[in-house]
Structures are given as structure tokens and as C-alpha cells.
Amino acid sequence: VANDLELSTPAYVVLGMVGLGARSGYEIKRTVDLSIRFFWTISQAQIYPSLGQLEAAGYITGRDEPLGRRPRRVFEITPEGERALRVWPESAGELPFELRDIGMVKLFFADALDPGPARALLGAVRRRSDERAALLRSIRPTAEGAEEEGNVFPGLTLEMGIAFHEAMVDACDAFERRISREG
């Protein structure tokens, strides 16, 4: 069995999702879209090759389990896979926080704008974070359900998302108060 293989982050995400009980490629994609999509995305075209890699490495085992005549391949994590998943967070040194936000870029250049459009842009960025925070708050019951089954960390990442979008809204409000005070 291969050990300490160099796996890409998408492959670890797939491994982690299989570890949490996602069985098929399709289910992994759906689970990602319902959980970590706010800080990590993955497309179908990455999932199926990753599944192949992970199986070749002995980190998951797959078997055909068609539903009627519809083909389907389901996977389970192996003990080596669980070990790899536990070792992963310890290994890597750096934890890059990569943010790509066109809204903030536009705001950065907004001094070139007239007051009206500038305020509109600020409002759009504020609204975006406000809506995102509301969406994340609506997921809280699901996270609380997971906590009762012993998974407390998904709730932490959810609270982080809520916290930073609320912080963005607050920063927009503070700025708006300041510019309307100063004229």
C-alpha cells in the first residue's frame, strides 16, 4: 500500500467527503455544494479522476452498486485513508487564505466615481455580504444536527463565514456613517 503519497487538495477534499459518508461521485459533489462551497469549490471533472487516484493509493475502496440498470460506483474510506486524512493537517506548513473579490477591487478604485455610483457600489457590496450572512445563518440548524452526531467543526467553519460577512457589513456601515458625517 502506497504511503505518504503526494495528494492534491481536491483529492483530500474528496477523501474527506468519503470519510464523512458521501458514497458516490455525484453525492460528493452535492455534499461539497451544501457545505464547504463557501471556502472551497470542486467540479465534477476533478472528482472522478481524484476518486481513481485515491483508490489506486488504497485510501478508498470502490465497488459497483447499480440502482436498477443505472450504473453507480460507491466508495468507502480505508484505515490507510483515515490515517492519511489525520496526517494531512499536521504536515503542510502554510495555510494560504486566498480571497478574490471583484467587489473589493471596484471599491478600491471607487474614488474615481461620482458620489451616486460610489454609494450604489458600496450598497451592492454591503447587500452581498448581508445576503450571504443570512444564507449562512439559515444553515445553522443543519450544523446543529451534525453537532449532535459528533461533528462540531463544520459548525465552526459556518460561524466563521457568518462572522466575517457580518464584519464586512459593519465595515460598510461604519464607512457610510463616516462619509455622510463628513459630507
Partner DNA sequence: TTCTCCATGTAAGTAGTTACATGATTGG
Partner DNA sequence: CCAATCATGTAACTACTTACATGGAGAA
Nearest one of 137, 132, 111, 134 to 122, comparing CA atoms: 111
145 in Cβ contact with 154 (< 8 Å): no
Q: What is the largest CA-CA distance in the chain?
A: 69
DSSP 48-90: HHHHHHHHHTTSEEEEE--BTTB--EEEEE-HHHHHHHHHHHH
The total of other beta-carbon atoms located within 10 Å of residue 169's CB is 19
- List residues near DNA by CB under 7 A: 8-10, 24-27, 30, 41-46, 48-49, 51, 67-74
- Give whichever of 65 and 124 is closer to a copy of itself, judged by the CB atom: 124
Stretch that binds a copy of itself, among 21-29, 30-38, 51-59, 61-69 (CB under 8 A): 30-38
User: Which of DNA, a copy of itself, none binds 48 (CB below 5-8 Å, type-dependent)?
Assistant: DNA
Instruction: Please tell me whether residue 88 binds a copy of itself under the rule CB under 8 A.
Output: yes
Q: What are the cell numbers at 19?
A: 470519510
Query: Closest CB to a copy of itself among 52 and 83?
Result: 83
Radius of gyration of the chain (CA): 21
Query: Which of these ranges, 22-30, 46-54, 62-70, 90-98, lies near a copy of itself under the rule CB under 8 A?
Result: 90-98
Partner that binds at residue 44, options DNA, a copy of itself, none, CB closer than 5 to 8 Å by kind: DNA
Closest CA to 8 of 47, 63, 58: 47
137 binds, among a copy of itself, DNA, none (CB under 5 to 8 A by kind): none
CB of residue 55 vs DNA: minimum separation in angstroms? 10
96: helix, strand or coil: coil
- Name the site residues for a copy of itself (rule: CB under 8 A): 9, 12-13, 16, 19-20, 35-36, 38-41, 82, 85-86, 88-90, 92, 95-114, 117-118, 120-122, 124-125, 128-129, 132, 150-154, 156-157, 159-160, 163-168, 170-172, 174-175, 179
